[in-house]
Every structure is written in C-alpha cells, then in structure tokens.
Chain A
Amino acid sequence: MSNGVFDDVQVIPPAEVDDVELYHAHSFITKYVFSQDAKIIAIQYSATAITIGLVGLVLSWLMRLQLGFPDTFSFISPDQYYQFVTMHGMIMVIYLLTALFLGGFGNYLIPLMVGARDMVFPYLNMLSYWIYLLAVLILTASFFVPGGASGAGWTLYPPQAILPGTPGVEWGIILMLVSLVLFIIGFTMGGLNYVVTVLQARTRGMTLMRLPLTVWGIFVATILALLAFPALFVGGVMMLLDRVIGTSFFMPEIIQAGELLGTDSGSPLLFQHLFWFFGHPEVYIVALPAFGIVSDVISTHARKNIFGYRMMVWAIVGIGGLSFIVWAHHMYVSGMNPYFGFFFATTTLIIAVPTALKVYNWVLTLWKGNIHMTIPMLFCVAFILTFLNGGLTGLFLGNVVVAVPLSDTMFVVAHFHMVMGVAPILVIFAAIYHWFPKMSGRMLHEGWGQFHFWVTFLGSYLIYFPMHYLGFVGVPRRYYEIGETSFVPPSAATLNEFITIMVLIVGFAQVVFIINILVSIFKGKESGPNPWNATTLEWQTETTPPSHGNFGDELPVVYRWAYAYSVPGVDADFVPQNMHPDDVKGSGSADDPSGHH
C-alpha cells in the first residue's frame, strides 16, 4: 500500500473561498498599540493580566505575613487585611485567569489553530482589550481613593459590602463594581469574536471534530462566559444602584444603632444566587481552556494521539452544560431552602463524572507514550495530580453534611486554591513554556524552567496540603487573627508560619520565571518554527513569530485531526494537520493510526 491513501479517491478540486480582507496597519501606533491583529492583542492581554496578577501575588504575601506572624507587622491593619483578601480574590479569578486564558491564549491560538487570518471582528477585538485595560486601571485606582479598596470579600455579598463598617464602602466598592461591569462589556466583545471565529472562519478541511482540544476548551469556555457573566453584570448593576442612588434591590430593612435605615425589604439571597450563577460556571471558564491546553501539550510531548478524542469533546460540552446547575453548592449555609441542597449536591457529584473521565484519558494518553519530560510536560503532569487532588476535596465539599462544618474554614481555601488556583496556573505555565517559542522565536531557558517548576510544584503542595489540616481543626478563613482560640492547638500557629515561608519561596520562583521570560525574549536559544514537532497549524506558519495574516499567501488546507503522532508505518513521528497525504513518507498511512485500511 502506498503512503497516499487517497490514490483511489478522486480528489475534489478546492472550492473557491474568498480570502478575507485584512486590516492593514500603517504606523507603529496602529501596529503595536491600537492593534487589530489578534496576536498583538493576545500579547497585550497577557502582559496586562500577568502584571495585575503580580499585584494579586503581592497581596497574597501580605495576607500570609499577617496570618503567619500576627502582631508583627504594624502596617497591616484589619481593614487592610480584608482589602487584600478581596482584591487578591477578584484579581486572580477574573482579571488574571479569565483574561489570560480567553483574552490571551484565546486570541493567540484560535485564529492560528483553526487556520484563520485573524478574528472575524478585529475592531471589536481591539476595543475589547482597551476596555479590559480600563477596567484593570479602575480596579487598581481603588487602592488610592479615600477609604481604599473594597474589603467586602471577593463575593461582595450585600448588605455588608455597601454598609458602613466594611472597608472601602466610600469609593472602593463603587470602583470595583464599575470595573466589573466594564470587564464584562469588554469580555463580551472578545467573546463574540472567539465564538464566531471558531464557527465561521475555520479553514478548509478543519471540521469541528478536527479542532485541537485547546480550541474546543476555549470555545466552550467562551460560551459559558457569555452566558454566565450577564448574571454578574445584572448583580453588579443592581448593587451599584443600591450603593449610589439608594435603591433596595439587595438591601433588607436594616436597623443600625437603633435607627431604621432607609432600605426597603430587598433580598440579599438574590445577589448570592446571581453571583454564584456566574461564579460556578466561572470555575469552568477557567478550567475548560486548561483542560484543552493540557490535552494538546500532553499529546505532543508524549508523541501519542490523545486518548478518547470524542469523549474529551463530549466531556467538555457536558461539563459546560452541567456547570450551570450546580451553583447553589456555594450557598449551603446561606439559609436557602434545605431541599435545594439535595438537588445541588447531586448535580455536583454528577459533574465529577465527565471530569474524572478526562483525567483518565490524560493518564491513558501517557500510557505507553514516548514521554518527553520537557518543562511543559512536567507542568501538565503536575496539573493532573493537582487537579485530581483539588477535585477530590471538591467531592467532600459538595456534600451538604460535610460542607456545613467545613465551610468558612481553611479547608475550603485549600480546596479552591488547589482546584482553580494552582491547577490552572500550572497549565498557564505549561502553555507559556510550550507556545513561547512560537510567540517569540526563542526558547525559554531550560534550567531556570526546571527550578521554576520544582519550586512552584512542591512549594504549592507544601502551602496547600497543610492548609487542609488547619481547616479540619477548625481554623476559620477570613479572620485577621484568631489569637487564643480554645479548639485551635498551638501547632496551628507553627503550621501557619511554615505556610507563610513557603508562600514567599514560591513567590520568589515566580520572579525568576518573569526574569526568564524577559531575558529569553532577547537572548533565548533560537527555536525554529516547530521545536516540539507538533502537528497543529500554528506550528506550520511561514514565519516565526507568525506575521500579520498568519499564513502567508495561501491558507492551509487541513487533511487530518490534530493528533497524528507516532502513526504506524510513517517515518516521522508526527504528521502536520496540513500535510498533503501524498507528502507523507513511509509505508503506512498518516490517516489511519490503526495501520490497516
């Protein structure tokens, strides 16, 4: 059998597809500042997200300093501690993770991976970034206004969020809400782009089921975000009105110091429902792109096709759907109807099924693979472990009887940091080490990468593993200091000191990582166009980094799925998606991994 499987098939002549008209930049400003090129926008998004993420990181150091060494730092007051908690949470979840996965990786990878010249609405895409930047600046400004940033906790529960006594009630909360509303408007502009580009701008041959899982993850996450962010938008606008003009959407009748405030029988619980109707899908808005990226990176670095591609796609879609009916498991202690708890505990356990299926498939992809322990692969393996870990404590907390005593303890903090803090961040690192060569044409430094990986991975476990035990003995979360509490043993304080020291060490490793990036942009080893021998389209561009328009004169034509690694009978251990069947060398066929026809 010859290598061209299509010998006996009449080749259908290519359909004429109109090439899109590209936007042409004329000056430095329109090319690199107000750019409409998705790749530049991606880098702008990423740089902004990482910068504000570093602010969030520093806030976590300050919080940990207070928790590890209470009564030591006079510059951290209780009010400030709450402001740090609030801003750290909000920055990390929304302005770092959501923006980096969707605005950063989404913008960079979607057009390249689906074989498009650019996003379908480039102007809207540019606007999306600038509104995001404005939202970040407004959020940052809240540190400097009278009263400081909001200290309402990242969930911003009313009525306390907008009542005197909560730090930042003067201006901080207003700026926070305005910033969130702007973020959502900006995101919606970007989100329309991601969805429509995946649907409408795929190149010839790129069917939905040939999309790399990265694109599937980002695509479904974007749909989730488009459907979930409106809930935060509505909640945010209503709370803003409560705070600024004195409506009572969420404000019950309140007696303060013996006097009735002017509020009128609003419903605080309504806000919690709105918030978590956004908040739970948000977990998957962050997780699904991570799932997709991990699948592709593992497959590439294990030189093996992803195990159960169809199942992986279905699981992504299934998780996306289920994520909308689990939100109230965040509200078991809110005073809602207890029967709701039964329903939401059940759905929460059900969502573990497709998620576990994905974990099995990653492990089975590694099984008998030709595993290259590169830095991206190390981060992916670490992700699988961490996600499993955080996911299992999620099963604990999904049950009402376990959640009630554990909620408001450090156990919850440990759980969600494992599952949606550390796990997605590990994937972000994997993705940066994996795609940095395409973005810059240079490799990141391997030795520093090893240092960064081991300190981050082991350090994170040394931070969060002990934290579960703190939760078990009843150390509460959100407390500035617990002092002498009868049920908390003195060893908890020692453990807290240890955790704080680990936080500072892991933080230092991130500084090394940033330096690695900055140095490697200019001095890194040249990577060539496809250093990992990957199959997907972004590695097959004419120039590296890809020029404006991505693919030179002609768009690529896709002949197979994204996972043609180690195909039996083919000489090379990978066959790019756009390689014509006649060009595949070897005795077998690139398009039949089973090796028979």
Chain B
Amino acid sequence: MSIFHELAKKPWLINPAEVEGVPPPAAFFVPVGKVGLRVFLVVVTVVFTLMLIAYGDRMLFSTWRPMPEPWLLWLNTALLITSSLAMQWAKSSAKQGNSDGMRDGLLWGGVLTIAFLAGQLYVWQQLVDLGYYATSGTANAFFYLLTAIHGLHMMGGLVAWGRSVFKMWRGGAVADLRLSVELCTTYWHYLLLVWLVLFAMLLFS
C-alpha cells in the first residue's frame, strides 16, 4: 500500500472493504516505540545536517584555519564501532532468546560507549593543552560543538541503555527486553553513522 494510493482514495464513496477490515494492518503491527524512534532519528538528522551545512559553509571562508586531528580519534572511532557491534550481538541474542548473549552484548556495548565518551573528553583535554580553544578559531568551535552534541546524544542513549540494564538486572525476561534492546541497537548504529560522517568531515577540513 503506497502513500500515493492512500492519498488518492475518495472517502466520500462507498468502500465496503474498508468498513470493517481497517485500519491498514501496518498501523498495528509495527510497535509504536519503533515508529517513535524513527521519527526522532529524522529530527536528529536535521539537527546534524544543519550543523554540517553551516560547517561546510564556513570552511569556504578564506580565514578558515583547520585544526589537527589527534590520532586518539581513530581509537575512539574503533571503540564506537565495537560498541555498535556489541549492541548488534545483544539484539540478535535477544531475538534467539539467548539471555546470556543479550546480557554480555548489552554490557559490553555500554562499557565501550563510556570508554568512547571518556576518549572524546581526553581529546578535548589534549586540544586545550595544545592551545586550540573554542574561542580561537571557527574550526575549533565547530569541532567542540559537533563532538559535544554527538556526545550528548550518546549520553541520552546511555540513559535508555541504563533502563534496559536495570530491567535486566531486576530479572526481566528476554521477551520483555527484546524491544528496548532492539531500539537501543538502532540508536547506536545511527549514532555510529553520524560519528563516521562527522569524523570524515573533520578529516577533510
């Protein structure tokens, strides 16, 4: 059922099939949490896209002074990729009903994410020590802004992750946790993708 087909319907005409058999099944078989998360990710995408457009716009200025990329960023990227993989492991374990796998995946995913955030803070510290302040150049300011907003989203994810871990720790059944683990995994993959794009932009500047 395409959206165009739906929008072309003439509601004032008789359509007996729609009297009892509707709404379209799709409306009930996707959990609301999933739809909600997808809509939210669209909003987050707009936020990051606008910041990247602003960033790209400023890069063209003649006064643009790029900043160095500490090698630690590569390590952080690796940490984030691994945490995403761990979440994927948790998700597929949850699907198979394997509670041990889910637990390990979830815990590793969280720990690696916390390590990533600590790594990012350390990169900030390094840059500040080298004299790259947010106020001393637009490239620096954008670097801090983009990493901070990404980090804040990551921390928001950790709140949802914490809720799942708490439920698991209280002895929640795998079936009850499956949806939250799945949503966390989607969010992690998404933020990994955002980070890869940000990182690529930073490298190219």
A residues at B contact (CB < 8 Å): 5-6, 9, 11-15, 17, 120-121, 188, 191-192, 195-196, 199-210, 226-227, 230-231, 233-234, 237-238, 241, 245-249, 262, 264-267, 270, 274, 277, 305, 309-310, 313-314, 317, 557, 559-561, 563, 581, 589, 591-593, 597
**Residue contacts A-B, CB under 8 angstroms, 18 given:** A9-B16, A11-B20, A14-B20, A121-B36, A192-B36, A200-B27, A201-B32, A205-B18, A207-B11, A210-B11, A227-B43, A238-B54, A247-B138, A249-B54, A270-B58, A274-B54, A313-B7, A561-B11
B23 close to chain A: CB less than 8 A = yes
With A and B bound together, what is the CA distance between A188 and B36 in angstroms?
11
- Min CB distance B142 to A, Å, is 8
Flag the segment in B44-52, B98-106, B162-170 that touches A: B44-52
B residues at A contact (CB < 8 Å): 6-14, 16-24, 27-28, 30, 32, 35-36, 39-40, 42-43, 46-47, 50-51, 54, 57-58, 61, 63, 134-138, 141-142, 145, 149
Q: A120-B32, A226-B43 are in contact. List 9 more A-B contacts (CB 8 A).
A: A9-B16, A200-B27, A200-B35, A205-B22, A207-B22, A209-B9, A230-B46, A274-B50, A560-B11
B12, B18, B22, B54 — most chain A CB neighbours (10 Å): B12
With A and B bound together, what is the CA distance between A15 and B22 in angstroms?
8
With A and B bound together, what is the CA distance between A293 and B93 in angstroms?
49
Chain B residues closer than 8 Å to A561, beta-carbon distance: 11-12
Chain A residues closer than 8 Å to B35, beta-carbon distance: 196, 199-200
Complex partner residue of A593 from B12, B19, B46, CB under 8 angstroms: B12
A-B contact count (CB 8 A): 156
CB <8 Å contact, B16 and A206: no
With A and B bound together, what is the CA distance between A202 and B46 in angstroms?
27
Chain A residues closer than 8 Å to B6, beta-carbon distance: 207-209
Chain A residues closer than 8 Å to B54, beta-carbon distance: 234, 238, 249, 270, 274
Chain A residues closer than 8 Å to B9, beta-carbon distance: 207, 209, 310
- Min CB distance A69 to B, Å, is 44
Given known pairs A209-B6, A247-B134, the reply for A241 and B47 (CB within 8 Å) is no
With A and B bound together, what is the CA distance between A372 and B55 in angstroms?
56
Complex partner residue of A266 from B46, B138, B149, CB under 8 angstroms: B138
CB nearest to A233 among chain B residues: B47
CB nearest to A278 among chain B residues: B50
Chain B residues closer than 8 Å to A245, beta-carbon distance: 134-135
CB nearest to B46 among chain A residues: A230
Given known pairs A196-B39, A200-B35, the reply for A267 and B58 (CB within 8 Å) is yes
With A and B bound together, what is the CA distance between A274 and B14 in angstroms?
47
